[in-house]
Structure 1
Amino acid sequence: MKGLKLAESYYWNIGRPVLKQRFPQILSHLATGLFGDGSECLEFDDDISQDHDFGPGFCIWLDKEDYILAGAQLHTIYTQLPKEYLGFSSRSVSPYGNDRVGVMEIHEFFSRYIGDEQPPKSLQRWLSLPEEKLAALTSGKHFEDTKGTFTWLQQMLSYYPEDIRLKKLAAKAAKMAQSGQYNYGRCMQRQDIVAANFALNEFLDNAISMIYLLNRTYCPYYKWKFKGLERLSLVRDAGALILELAETDLQKYAWQQTHFTNWNPYLNLVDKKVRLIEEICRLCLEELEKQDLIVKIENVMNLYPTEIIQKIQDPLLREIHILIG
């Protein structure tokens, strides 16, 4: 059973009946569900995931006033719930998995991920928030939210303001160009294999982030970035190319003689990795054009970040360095 379904079943069949019996008045003051860190919130968990931070459990969120009045009593009730359910033993909590379930104050819970300003009040604040934290806050499921505070705050964070998305798209395009279409070739010319691998990793990271932005979906924690692509509807063909690029052996032999085009010494198409990089860039550029963000002229990512920046409405955001985002 997936962790999210286990949590929901545990709440409705074990947790809620106990709350209704022992503390019925609290049911009109709480939100319950499972959001935050953990593969089960993304529904990516499998048998391997069950070795830590997995098992029966759910979250109870209260606003500050209710938490002061009822938090301690609720915590006592929660800790007395059965530890085993449907054949699953109690949660095995790792040093990194503390406080993923249990009784929490809403503001404090959101503060772990985005700080005290909830929701962000400025575009500059939005730009500074770690995307994987926003993904965690919006990945999971509500079971109940009788007051609506938790749901409202989540809706305010459901996705970036459009100006922020544009700023990030411009930055990802610039970084894809810098790492994949430029520095990878430079490193291979020098036979600096470690640096070339760093460049490839940078390209893969930014290309995947670009695809999430094109789909208007938060990019999750690095371990699940690639897997999450299978759920996205736009630029779907890039997933297979990204996998092939990661699996392809380093092409050292392709850089032992001159294979470069005259206009671009780093576009060495004898190197299969270069061909894959170019194809991934092409797919991303085509989608950028479909979204009316660029007019595609050549398959050179570095031509387009400034064009994307000009679509931003906020003048202060337009002035922030191109690579920030």
Structure 2
Amino acid sequence: MKGMELSRRYFEEYGRTMIDEKLSRYREYIAAGLVGEGSECFGFDDQLSADHDFGPAFCIWIPESLYETAGAEIQKAYDSLPQSYMGYRRITSAQGGGRVGALTTEGFYRKFTGLDHAPADNMEWFRIPERFLATAVNGQVFVDNNGRFSQIRSELQRFYPEDVVKKKLAARCAMMAQTGQYNYGRSMKRRDFQAAYLSCGEFVKTAMSAVYLLNETYMPYYKWVFRGAEDFNVLRETVERLRNITMLPDTAENSAKKEMLIEQVCVDVGRELNRRGVTRTTEAFLQAHGDELMRAIRDVRLRNLHIMADCD
């Protein structure tokens, strides 16, 4: 059984009753669901996932002001629920603590975004790593009587503002041009296979980020990057090219094939930018697209940043 389904059933059977009977005086402040860290929150869990930080569990989000006075009581009520359910027992690792049970709405979002509210301007959006936004908006909310948790969640799910997307895509174009179209081939010609390996790795990671941006989806952390792209409608063939690149060792025999795949990926991204009307250049070298994107940014704070800012 998938972890999300297990969590929902557990909540419906035990969580709702707990809230209604033991925590009724706090009901109007409570939101509950399963969102955050863990493959089950993304729907990517499998049999291997069940060996750690898996089992019947859910989150209870309440305002910080309430947590100060009632957090311990709410956690105690949660801890009194059955530890086993439908043949599964919650297994928590040292790294998996604090993911479920009584949490604060403000603390949850602050953990992943650095803010206890939705980003208020372009710079606040720009500073939040994609993988943390992916984590903050995954999963499911089963109930939200207070509304604040879902309000912030909804605003984050709308995706980055237009200028932030342009800045991020400009950075991806510049990095893809540098690592893939320029440095990979030069490193192979020097037989500097270590530099070639690192260049290719940076290229694949950055190109996948561009694909996610163009699908208006936050890219999760590295482990789930390709898994999360399986259902994309935009640049599906590009994802397959990138998958093929990862399967080719950096040897002299593979160099030409990898360079061809890298170039095809860059052409794909450039054409998609053209199709959307965000760039007009038809140059294959993606640096040109990055430069054009930078010029199109209206927010002077973003426009004045280094083109590669956000690719650190």
TM-score, normalised on structure 1?
Answer: 0.92
Greater CA drift, 240-249 or 216-225: 240-249
8 A Cα contact 1:251 1:273, kept in partner: no
Larger Rg: 1
Deviation at 1:117, TM superposition (A): 5.0
1:71 to 2:56 alignment: no
Deviations 1:223-267 (A, max 9, x none): 00111111221111112111111112334147xxxxxxxxxxxxx
Q: Which residue of 2 aligns with 1:99?
A: 98
Secondary structure (helix, strand or coil) at the match of 1:276 reads: helix
- Distance change >3 Å, CA 117–CA 83, structure 1 → 2: closer
- Distance change >3 Å, CA 28–CA 117, structure 1 → 2: closer
Query: 2:58 is matched by which residue type in structure 1?
Result: F
8 A Cα contact 1:174 1:302, kept in partner: yes
Query: 1:86 is matched by which residue type in structure 2?
Result: M
Q: Which residue of 2 aligns with 1:315?
A: 300
Q: Which residue of 2 aligns with 1:284?
A: 269
Deviation at 1:112, TM superposition (A): 1.0
Q: Structure 2 matches for 1:71-150, cutoff 5 A? A: 71-89=71-89, 91-116=90-115, 118-150=117-149
Q: Which residue of 1 aligns with 2:9?
A: 9
Q: Which runs of 5+ in 1 are unaligned?
A: 255-269
Secondary structure (helix, strand or coil) at the match of 1:252 reads: coil
8 A Cα contact 1:167 1:309, kept in partner: yes
Query: 2:305 is matched by which residue type in structure 1?
Result: I
Secondary structure (helix, strand or coil) at the match of 1:32 reads: strand
Deviations 1:167-219 (A, max 9, x none): 00000000000000000011111101011000000000000000000111100
- Distance change >3 Å, CA 87–CA 117, structure 1 → 2: closer
Deviation at 1:73, TM superposition (A): 1.2
Q: Which residue of 1 aligns with 2:188?
A: 188
1:306 to 2:291 alignment: yes
Secondary structure (helix, strand or coil) at the match of 2:60 reads: strand
Distance 2:200 2:164 in 1: 26
Q: Which residue of 2 aligns with 1:217?
A: 217
Identity %: 38
Deviation at 1:130, TM superposition (A): 1.4
- Give structure 1 regions of 4+ aligned residues with deviation exceeding 4 angstroms: none
Distance 1:136 1:320 in 2: 26
Q: Which runs of 5+ in 2 are unaligned?
A: none
Deviation at 1:221, TM superposition (A): 0.9
Deviation at 1:323, TM superposition (A): 0.2
Deviations 1:117-163 (A, max 9, x none): 52223322221211111110000100000110001111222211111
8 A Cα contact 2:179 2:203, kept in partner: yes
TM-score, normalised on structure 2?
Answer: 0.95
